[in-house]
Amino acid sequence: MEARSAEALPSGDDWIYEPKWDGFRCLAFKHDADVFLQSKSGQPLARYFPEIVAAVAGLQPAHLVVDGEIVITRNGRLAFDDLLQRIHPAASRIQRLAKETPATLLVFDLLLHGRTSLAQAPLVERRRELEALFAQLPESAFIQLSPCTASRPLAEKWMRELGTGGLDGVVAKRLSMPYRSGERDGMVKVKRLRTADCVVGGFRYAQKGGAVGSLLLGVYNKEGLLDHVGFTSSFTEGERRTLEPILAPHKGGTGFTGRAPGGPSRWSTERSAEWEPLEPTLVCEVRYDHFSGGRFRHGTKFLRWRPDKAPRQCTRDQIT
């Protein structure tokens, strides 16, 4: 079951609210001693998270299906990059990482309990059964109950205050809804979107047409060097035509003096090195949803130019 995006949380007696965790969505199936972990796209995950397999195998009753999110925390903050490190073919590496950066399955729904299917039951009943199940379990670092609340003000407080810990937003769910796989009816997600001021240290041309395709964004690190942290390409065709005159006077500059595009990274592509450097004088404001591993996770949304902002004011500490 999935959620549709919205700008604001719904309100009313039929809604509860849960944190939107920044991890891997996971359905966990237990049949006697056998455990199967399945991603949202239907891919198996069990071999990457042996500590969670062991935790689910130890649950009672013998037959269970739960829905949740696999997360890893580091220094009190969700660490999505550590999750990505698990998707690796070497079993020895996975075993090592399972000890060094153990994962947790945060469970928020119960679909099968014993021989009883709860998928068609309303969420209020499924949640009650889920909480009763966890009340009987010993505390575990590897499988935990995801919190929920009926208080919209508390959910809004989560949005405001828990972003520094890596919370991705809040999900609202209808208490009266059954579990509908693959559907977005009855669930709403509101992501925690933030803004940042960045220096435009370079750009890439579009693959077709010769217009500017994307702006390369940078912020200054503690050593005073300009690090590449991502890109923005959210322009209409008309807006792209206006970018060239703005960028042209700044071509051929120093570009990024710290980490630059094209360096070793899991985000690298064949076109990573194909970029034009600029003098670091242009500043723009962008909207982003998450920052991890020293860069914006996804492409950002260009909001406006900031001629009132000095490039040196665009530092890493503004980004959470």
Q: 213 pLDDT band (50/70/90 cuts)?
A: very high
Contact 66, 109 (CB under 8 A): yes
If asked whether residues 174 and 25 sit together in one domain, one would say: yes
Using a pLDDT cut of 90, give the percent of the chain over it: 65
β-bridge partners, 39: 26
> Residue written as tokens 């550590």?
82
Determine the Cα–Cα distance for residues 173 and 192; give it in Å rounded to an integer.
17
If asked whether residues 149 and 268 sit together in one domain, one would say: no
Taking 60 as the threshold, does the pLDDT of residue 289 lie above it?
yes
If asked whether residues 284 and 147 sit together in one domain, one would say: no
Average pLDDT of 103-128?
97
> Residue written as tokens 């591993």?
293
Taking 50 as the threshold, does the pLDDT of residue 271 lie above it?
no
> Whole-number mean pLDDT of the chain?
90
pLDDT of residue 269: 44
Domains of the chain: total: 2
Determine the Cα–Cα distance for residues 319 and 230; give it in Å rounded to an integer.
13
pLDDT of residue 195: 83
pLDDT of residue 265: 35
pLDDT of residue 320: 66
Last residue of a domain, one of 191, 216, 249: 191
Taking 50 as the threshold, does the pLDDT of residue 55 lie above it?
yes
Q: Which residue has the higher pLDDT, 52 or 209?
A: 52
If asked whether residues 212 and 167 sit together in one domain, one would say: no
If asked whether residues 40 and 126 sit together in one domain, one would say: yes
pLDDT of residue 238: 86
Contacts of 216 (CB under 8 A, 6+ apart): 200, 201, 202, 203, 204, 228, 230, 231, 256, 261, 275
Q: Please state whether beta strands 15-20 and 34-39 pair in parallel, antiparallel, or not at all (unpaired).
A: unpaired
If asked whether residues 257 and 133 sit together in one domain, one would say: no
If asked whether residues 176 and 268 sit together in one domain, one would say: no
Contact 175, 208 (CB under 8 A): no
Taking 60 as the threshold, does the pLDDT of residue 108 lie above it?
yes
Domain range for 267 is 194-318
pLDDT of residue 4: 87
Report pLDDT digits (tens) over 228-256: 999 999 898 888 888 999 999 999 888 99
- Tell me which DSSP letter residue 12 carries: S
Q: 87 pLDDT band (50/70/90 cuts)?
A: confident
Q: 162 pLDDT band (50/70/90 cuts)?
A: confident
Average pLDDT of 14-38?
95
DSSP element (H, E) containing 159: helix 152-161
Among 57, 3, 12, 18, smallest CA distance to 167 is for 18
Determine the Cα–Cα distance for residues 93 and 85; give it in Å rounded to an integer.
9
If asked whether residues 251 and 179 sit together in one domain, one would say: no
Last residue of a domain, one of 143, 175, 191: 191
Phi, psi of 110 (to 5 degrees): -125, 120
DSSP element (H, E) containing 108: strand 104-113
Last residue of a domain, one of 172, 191, 210: 191
pLDDT of residue 52: 97
DSSP H helix total and E strand total for the chain: 6, 20
Average pLDDT of 123-131?
98
Average pLDDT of 171-194?
89
Average pLDDT of 57-63?
93
pLDDT of residue 252: 87
If asked whether residues 129 and 60 sit together in one domain, one would say: yes
20 has catalytic annotation? yes
Q: 45 pLDDT band (50/70/90 cuts)?
A: very high
Q: Could you give the dihedral angle defined by the CA atoms of residues 303, 307, 318 and 7, in that order, rounded to the nearest 10 degrees?
A: -20
Question: Could you please report the per-residue DSSP string of 198-250?
Answer: EEEEEEEE-SSSSSEEEEEEEEE-TTS-EEEEEEE----HHHHHHHHHHHGGG
If asked whether residues 168 and 254 sit together in one domain, one would say: no
* Residue 275 tokens, joined: 């970029």
Among 60, 52, 65, smallest CA distance to 23 is for 52
pLDDT of residue 131: 97
If asked whether residues 66 and 161 sit together in one domain, one would say: yes
pLDDT of residue 263: 44
Instruction: Specify the CATH number for the domain of residue 52.
Output: 3.30.470.30
If asked whether residues 13 and 150 sit together in one domain, one would say: yes
Q: What angle do CA 134, 14, 178 make, to 5 degrees?
A: 60
Taking 70 as the threshold, does the pLDDT of residue 266 lie above it?
no
AA letter at 284: C
> Residue written as tokens 């990457």?
48
Q: Which residue has the higher pLDDT, 264 or 282?
A: 282
Instruction: Specify the CATH number for the domain of residue 299.
Output: 2.40.50.140
